[in-house]
Amino acid sequence: MLIDLLTGAWSYGILSGVTNIVFAFVYNKLYVNDLLTAGYQPADSASKDALLAKEFTVQG
């Protein structure tokens, strides 16, 4: 992203920044799903409610 901005390709810099942010959200959702599948549990009921509100499957 920095190279795109320095070389004057502003549209590529903005596009790569937006792409990186979207990828971060997608990756984090996949990672949390993997943790929950592996048996990790929410620390408290508020965390469990937050996961359920975001449509994650929580065991227990």
Q: How far apart are CA 54 and CA 10, in angstroms?
A: 34
- The reported pTM is 0.71
Q: What is the DSSP string of 41-57?
A: --SSHHHHHHHHHTT--
Tokens of 14: 């903005």
Digitized pLDDT (tens) for each residue of the chain, 60 residues in all: 677 667 767 777 788 889 999 999 999 999 999 999 999 999 999 999 999 999 998 886
